[in-house]
Amino acid sequence: MNPVLEPLFRTVRATHPKADLRLIERAYDVAAYHHRDQKRKSGDPYITHPLAVATILAELGTDDETLCAALLHDTVEDTAYSLDELRGDFGDTIASLVDGVTKLDKVKFGDAAQAETVRKMVVAMSRDIRVLIIKLADRLHNMRTMRYLPEHKRHQKSRETLEIFAPLAHRLGMNTIKWELEDLAFAMLYPKRYDEIARMVSERAPRRDLFLQEVIEKVSGDLREAKIRAVVKGRPKHYYSVYQKMIARDVAFDDIYDLVGIRVLVDTVRDCYAALGTIHARWNPVPGRFKDYIAMPKFNMYQSLHTTVIGPEGKPVELQIRTHAMHHRAEYGVAAHWKYKEEVGSAGPTGKVKPGNDMAWLRQLLDWQKETADPGEFLESLRFDLSVSEVYVFTPKGQVIALPEGATPVDFAYAVHTEVGHRCIGARVNGRLVPLESRLGNGDTVEIFTSKSPDAGPSRDWLKFVKSGRARNKIRQWFSKERRETAIEAGKEAIGRAMRKQGLPLQRLMSGEALLALARDLHYPDVSALYAAVGEGHIAAQAVVQKLVASIGGVDSAEEDIAETSLPTRLRGRPRGGGAGVVVAGDADVWVRLSKCCTPVPGDEIVGFVTRGHGVSVHRDDCSNIQQLKAQPDRLVEVSWSPSDDSVFLVAIQVEALDRPRLLSDVTRTLSDQHVNILSASVTTSRDRVAVSKFTFEMGDPKHLGHVLKAVRTIQGVFDVYRVSGAGS
């Protein structure tokens, strides 16, 4: 046996004892031979990649055919080895798996092309789900070795991973893959946020571990007394999921991290409920936090009992209670099917789920991708569909229909049939008439009333409240067929209205070139298509105006405005050159202002600009405004630094931090401790829980700035702090 394969075979023997090791070795030999002259970006032999992918899949417990396909997955695309040769050597099944993975890798450029790739994935998945499992393992190994790629490629792949591959792994129940993909992509896209959360986690780990140990000992003791055999352990915390919870629940890090989670693994479903009773007998449950996913499994076959109790010291403790088989399925999802293939019957006494019934979502996705013509729209809808929770509602005949959380009767109508959706005029939920925008809850029975009129059709207002991608696409398709000219006119008018509202120059902004460039950026073929998209509600007029303004570098760029916004850097006395710390060549007695737009300090390369009635405005040489002022060279003058003891300089810094209570007061206190005089401050908090604070302050000695930045960086939650070129930039 080849010694290189020993670690792989050790894993295969543990997870899939009946696997054909000789077949796997033959697949490795063929792959190694055909990749023999190829290297990865890291310089390693190429064969290390397929071998690593196969090892990841072996850890999931997949079958030998999948492992062979993983070893061979790049041969057809990257070497002279043809698909027909592979079919002759390894048979139809392995050949079709390799062909499926190869097709997914064909298209890689641009959003629409990426959507096309995802479509191919959906088609390949519908034929054999193992194609996607190989693709996920391939992406996981690529993410582990991503550091060898150029930065723009790393960012593109990481965003794709967060938006598509990690949610797909979640949909397929493959949580071990999902968590690692998320953490790797998070670290690549937002390294400073990742490091700050990792630092905060490690700081609290010892205190939290003691509390966790106490809870585990008490739960284990109670279960032993109740004669329930159980394994009780802490749940690992994943940095990206901590960050996501901060955003979703809108709470600070401490509130998330102090929430202790433990997992209880037992032998049977009966033991799950017995363990739940035992735990509730010791600690009071938190109302509304109990979920029974054993009786009602999630879309991805996940089964568990979830409860939150008020544990020792009054701290909440989250518990998941499940059987060992459920745990395996929760970790490995569809990949666990091969291990439990022989198990039949849906959720029976042992909590086993019949593999055939789990992938309704996949079948729904397949129908849906046939209906959606525009690949960009398909990708957008897929992202949305992957990111939401679900509610389960019933038709009057008792059929269960899964809809996104917050779905309305209109979503339900389109889920039943497109025509039912188009003709929907009213709804009854649990026997009572309700408005069409009402939110449906789990277990509701929904009945739809339809119009018999030949002119019946959806309302544009429905787009404001429907939640499912299918309903949104169907409504948009309906209106796309209506008069396009009307939409173009409406879009043009909406953009003009948005500009007038802000007092913007219409002629300058609505020039053909600027709009055409923007239309291309937004993936519309021409300006008319952009107007139509605005008219149909695909994109907001305000968003178009903002992008237009940004594309021409902001509206207001006249040099007089720059001069007016300059701040004199000395608040008392005669603000002449020496006092500002700057002298003008040939005249030491000219009134000098350090410009507020780029706040220069000694050490910066500077240039002077003669303003009308305001002396000389001093800018940094790399200031964006000075580039425009260079068009008037006769008003540029040479200036140089000459700071004195009483010179005061303006400095602007930006602080980026994970949002939390008292963050602003901690930053301002730290700045005060550093003896800086704050002149202005602005704080904005984005939807992803990042607080961006900008401070402008006076400083006598610019060398002191390094100490200030260092002090601010030590504040909890702050992941970046740096000097910016201006208070307003």
Q: Tell me the per-residue pLDDT of 369-381, one tens digit each, with 9 for 90 and over.
A: 555 555 555 555 5
CA-based angle 705:711:715, to the nearest 5?
140
Q: What is the per-residue DSSP string for 424-439? A: EEEEEETTEEE-TTPP
512-516 own/partner pairs: CB under 8 Å, 24+ apart: 514/548, 514/551, 514/552, 515/548
CATH topology for 192-332?
Beta Polymerase; domain 2 (3.30.460)
Residue located via tokens 């149909």:
536
Q: Over the stretch 50-86, which tens digit does the pLDDT of each residue have?
A: 888 888 888 887 888 888 888 888 888 777 878 888 8
Per-residue pLDDT tens digits for 542-571: 888 887 777 665 544 333 333 333 344 333
Q: State yes or no: pLDDT of 510 exceeds 80.
A: no
Strand partners, 697: 651, 678
Residues 296-305: what's their mean pLDDT? 76
pLDDT value at position 341?
43
Q: Is 457 strand, coil or helix?
A: coil
**What's residue 646's pLDDT?**
65
pLDDT of residue 115: 56
Position 299 confidence tier, pLDDT thresholds 50, 70, 90: low
Question: In terms of pLDDT, which residue wins out, 374 or 700?
Answer: 700
- Distance between first and last Cα of the chain: 64
**The domains spanning 192-332 and 649-723 adopt the same CATH topology:** no
In three-state secondary structure terms, 106 is coil
Res. 39: pLDDT tops 80: yes
Residues noted as catalytic: 77-78
User: How do the domains of the chain map onto residue ranges?
Assistant: 3-174, 192-332, 364-454, 478-551, 649-723
- Top CATH class of 364-454 equals alpha beta
Q: How far, in whole angstroms, is CA 629 from its chain's centroid?
A: 41
pLDDT 10s digits, 10-22: 887 877 777 778 8
CA distances from 486 to 126, 235, 244, 407 (A): 40, 56, 42, 30
Give the helix/strand (H/E) hosting 543: helix 541-551
Alpha carbon distance 166, 181 (integer Å) = 6
**Would you identify the CATH topology of the domain 649-723?**
Alpha-Beta Plaits (3.30.70)
Is the per-residue pLDDT at 447 higher than 80? yes
The Cα-based distances of 166 to 39, 104, 182, 183, 521 in angstroms read 27, 16, 6, 10, 27
Assess contact for 171 and 361: CB atoms under 8 A: yes
Instruction: Provide the pLDDT for residue 274.
Output: 93
State mean pLDDT over 433-454: 86
> Tokens 């401050």 appear where?
681
Tokens representing 559 are 């040099």
What angle, 0 to 180 degrees and rounded to 10, lies between the N-to-C axes of helices 705-713 and 663-673?
150
Rounded CA-CA distance 130/196 in Å is 37
Q: What is the percent of the chain with per-residue pLDDT over 90, rounded to a whole number?
A: 4
SS3 call for 678: strand
Q: What is the dihedral of CA 674, 676, 677, 683, to 10 degrees?
A: -80
Q: What is the DSSP string of 179-203?
A: HHHHHHHHHHH-HHHHHHHHHHHHH
Burial tier of 507 (Cβ tally within 10 Å: 0-12, 13-18, 19+)? exposed
**295 or 711, which is more confident?**
711
Look at 261-270, 326-335, 352-361, 507-516 and tell me which has the smallest mean pLDDT: 352-361
> Where is average pLDDT lowest: 578-582, 619-623, 676-680?
578-582
What is the token pair recorded at 425? 């005029």
How confident is the model over 284-310, as a mean pLDDT? Answer: 82
Q: Of all residues in the chain, what percent are helix, strand and coil, respectively (each to 5)?
A: 50, 15, 30
Categorize the per-residue pLDDT at 315 as very low, low, confident or very high, splitting at 50, 70 and 90: confident
Query: pLDDT digit string (tens) for 240-264?
Result: 877 777 776 666 766 665 567 889 9
| Paired residues of 582 in beta bridges | 641
Strand, helix or coil at 390?
Answer: strand
Biggest alpha carbon distance in the chain? 95
CATH architecture of 3-174: Orthogonal Bundle (1.10)
Tell me whether strands 592-594 and 616-620 are parallel, antiparallel or unpaired: parallel
How many helices and strands in the chain, by DSSP H and E?
A: 32, 20
Amino acid occupying residue 59: E
